[in-house]
Amino acid sequence: MEKLKAQYTEGIVSIIINTILWLAKFWIGLAIGSIALIADSWHTLSDSISSIVVIIAGKLASKESDKEHPFGHGRWELISSMFVAFLLGIVGYQFLMESIERFKNKESVVYGINAIIVIIVSIIIKELLAQYAFYIARKTENTIVKADGWHHRSDALSAVVVLIGMIFAKYFWWMDSVLGMFCAVVLFYVAFEIMKESVTKLLGETPEQGLINEIIEEINKMYKNDLKIHHIHLHNYISQKELTLHIRLNGNMTIIEGHKLATDIEMMLQEKFNMIATIHMEPIK
């Protein structure tokens, strides 16, 4: 699956569907005066905005490496994910404050059948969108599309809680206010998770142990003696990955032999793991 094309497709589908859902939720929420439903509608609209960011990020991240950016522009995906997280946090704060104010004023809402139908349809569609985004993210290893998928999933989950609240709203005057607070908390949580993942990748991360084991296993197939592989570091630039590692070789090996072995390992890592490797050679002490 071609990464950029898939990213564009996911973004466009998300924008169209989320905009329609936002209009339906917002209109009904406004008609019945429900802060929870209006908050949920803005959560849905923020999905459309984040999908616009997905498309813009895809265009920026696809640019080739240049003199000023020798490792490419792939990290635009991470920067865009952070923007989506920031947007979610702002929306969550606004609705938390409004829900608290409504709770203080003891305002209640009675939900009609139209509101319940819209929420049920929204839950189904949002989960389908989430599954679609996760599928593309798995196939293309795309961080921003994965973030967009979690955005869809969070909207579906918050809508489930809103639906439950609608059913019991006639028994509890405070239900709409509490549901609005819940939606705000969900937005905060999703924003935190997206921000944490993006910042971790920007700062640099230790390769997963499973990946390290795979690399060592493949290298040991090429050189039967124990190379004492250590100092493995991965630099993730999204569009490309840079791997550095140290290997210890027999001290009697010539420079030419050591260089050939290191080159062979680098070629293998490029072919099997799609990583550009730099290898430092040391003699076994």
Q: What are the tokens at 200? A: 């971790």
What is the rounded CA–CA span in Å between residue 209 and residue 47?
A: 34
Report pLDDT for 284.
76
Report pLDDT for 154.
74
Q: Which parts of the chain register pLDDT below 50?
A: 1
- Which single residue is written with the structure tokens 């405070």? 174
* Residue 66, helix vs strand vs coil: coil
Q: Give the length of the chain.
A: 285
**Matching CATH number, 3-203, of 1.20.1510.10, 3.55.30.10, 1.10.760.10, 3.30.70.20:** 1.20.1510.10
Report pLDDT for 109.
67
* Residue 233, helix vs strand vs coil: strand
Using an 8 Å Cβ cutoff, are 53 and 80 in contact?
yes
| pLDDT tens-digit readout, 232-258 | 887 776 667 778 888 888 777 888 888
How many other C-beta atoms are found inside a 10 Å radius of the C-beta of residue 239? 19
| pLDDT tens-digit readout, 110-164 | 677 877 888 888 889 888 988 988 888 887 777 667 777 877 787 787 777 778 7
Neighbouring-strand partners of residue 276? 242
Per the confidence metrics, is the pTM higher than 0.85? Answer: no
Q: What are the tokens at 182? A: 């819940």
* Residue 172, helix vs strand vs coil: coil
**What are the extents of the domains in the chain?**
3-203, 209-283
Architecture of domain 209-283: 2-Layer Sandwich (3.30)
Q: What are the tokens at 27? A: 């209109």
Q: Spell out the long-range contacts of 264-272 with Cβ–Cβ below 8 A and sequence spacing 24 or more.
A: 264/222, 265/219, 265/222, 268/218, 268/219, 268/222, 269/215, 269/218, 269/243, 272/218
Using an 8 Å Cβ cutoff, are 236 and 199 in contact?
no
Label the pairing between strands 241-249 and 275-283. parallel
